[in-house]
Amino acid sequence: MFADFLYLLRGSGLKVSLTEWMALMEALDKNLHRASFSGFYQLCRCLLVKSEADYDRFDRCFLEYFKDVPFQQEVSQELMDWLNRPDVLNDYARWDEEQALKNMGLSEEEIQRMLQERMQEQNEEHNGGNYWVGTHGMSVFGNSGLSPKGIRVGGESRYHRAFRVAGERNYRDFRRDNTLDTRQLQVALRKLRQFSGLVDLPPTEFDVDRTIQDTADQGGMLTVRYKRPRENTVKVLLLMDSGGSMDYYAQLCSALFQAVSKSGHFKDLKVFYFHNCVYGRLYRDPLLLSRDSVTTQWVLSNLPGDWKLILVGDAQMAPYELRGGYYGSSDPDGPKNGMDYLLRLRDRYRNSIWLNPSPRPTWGPYWSQTYDEIARVFPMFPLSVEGIEEGMKKLLSR
């Protein structure tokens, strides 16, 4: 009937499966939408969407697919509801059939344009009319109004029209590709775990249940059983860019830092800071004080290759900061420039990613050059919930 809608939803990244779609068909068959359009919208949403993070995406698809559905049926349905509710009868008295039909004939764009014109003309408060922006009227603008179609201007939505509810996009903030707070980050970081049960570790933990079970099976003869300890074996090395162009993302980076250090489920965690690119020294403090630093070589030789490396930075610098010999090591066999250091890190740590709070610069090749070069060395992910989830997968792959 409207199977295209399923494909539209799937195409937009919502993981709607056939099970859910069939459930929707069954629900429609049982008239759970109560023959109303709003009911249909709610029904679709509660069956097809499984996270408030996806509400916004769903709303947009719904708008796109059903925007041409005429409103008539729904109005009559709602009129019935109004007649049953004494508290809106007063409002209903102002219902203007002619105006309603006129409003219904307007397209979204027309209404949009009219609103802009009206905003320029209007300079006082209007309630109950059918022309100005105001409340309780028949105008296509304002709130608590009766017009079957229109734009809500302020206030809480009262007569929930499916379109407007979807159009309000109340759930925009829940979208997953938004930048994030600590809590969301922590959830994303939890994906980064590898239980020793899965890794080959000797069974060292006393297994009470199986000991008792087997002892009982043996007729009371003590049979001791051990199991593998179940703990996270992931060790994380976090290197963060500090200062300069990263100041814009300070809040985001500190959220990431807090999430990583608070999550506490890693077996070991080391955090170091650098400026622009990794050179000879790594700093324990974002202020980059040299008395509180270690050499990059120390890190490379002391932290073995099974550590997971996460680099955070905007990867945007002057090309000489990445390629220039000025930052190289004094040792003739040592790394010659920033890029060399990065390559050594990558070669040492099999699982490494780069998280970037900034999108790829689009204005000029000067800044995007280093961005692209680094992205060729490290798999680069945006510093958002989705990006981190993808990154964690990369870190866990073997």
Residues forming contacts to other proteins in the complex (CB under 8 A) are 15, 17, 19-20, 23, 26-27, 30, 32, 39, 42-43, 46-47, 49-52, 55, 156, 170-171, 187, 190, 209, 212-213, 215-216, 220
From the CB of 191, what's the least distance to other proteins, in Å? 9
Cα separation, 192 vs 228, whole angstroms = 20
Picking from 213, 102, 211, the residue whose alpha carbon sits closest to that of residue 148 is 102
Nearer to other proteins, 6 or 277 (CB): 6
Q: Which long-range contacts (C-beta less than 8 Å, at least 24 apart) are formed by 386-389?
A: 386/176, 386/177, 387/355, 388/185, 388/188, 388/189, 388/355, 389/188, 389/191
Nearer to other proteins, 73 or 218 (CB): 218
Return the number of the residue (227 or 348) whose C-beta is nearest other proteins.
227
The nearest distance, CB 7 to other proteins, in angstroms, is 18
C-alpha to C-alpha distances, 22 to 6, 28, 52, nearest whole angstrom:
11, 10, 21
Q: Which two tokens stand for residue 387?
A: 């990006």
What is the distance between the alpha carbons of residues 236 and 308, in angstroms, rounded to a whole number? 5
Measure CA 199 to chain center. 31
* Contact between residue 191 and residue 392 where contact means Cβ atoms under 8 Å apart: yes
Query: DSSP 3-state assignment of 218?
Result: coil
Query: Judged by CB, which is closer to other proteins: 30, or 376?
Result: 30
CA 282 – CA 112 distance, rounded (Å):
55
Beta bridge partners of 273: 240, 283
Smallest distance, Å, CB 212 to other proteins?
Answer: 5
CB of 39 to other proteins, least distance (A): 7
Q: State the DSSP string of 45-110.
A: HHHH---GGGHHHHHHHHHHHHTTS-SHHHHHHHHHHHHH-GGGHHHHTT--HHHHHHHHT--HHH
Cβ-based nearer residue to other proteins, 47 or 374: 47
Nearest to other proteins of 22, 287 (CB atom)? 22
Distance in Å, CB of 30 to other proteins, minimum? 6
Q: How far is the CB of 186 from other proteins (least distance, A)?
A: 9
Q: How far is the CB of 109 from other proteins (least distance, A)?
A: 29
The residue (of 171 and 371) whose beta carbon lies closer to other proteins is: 171
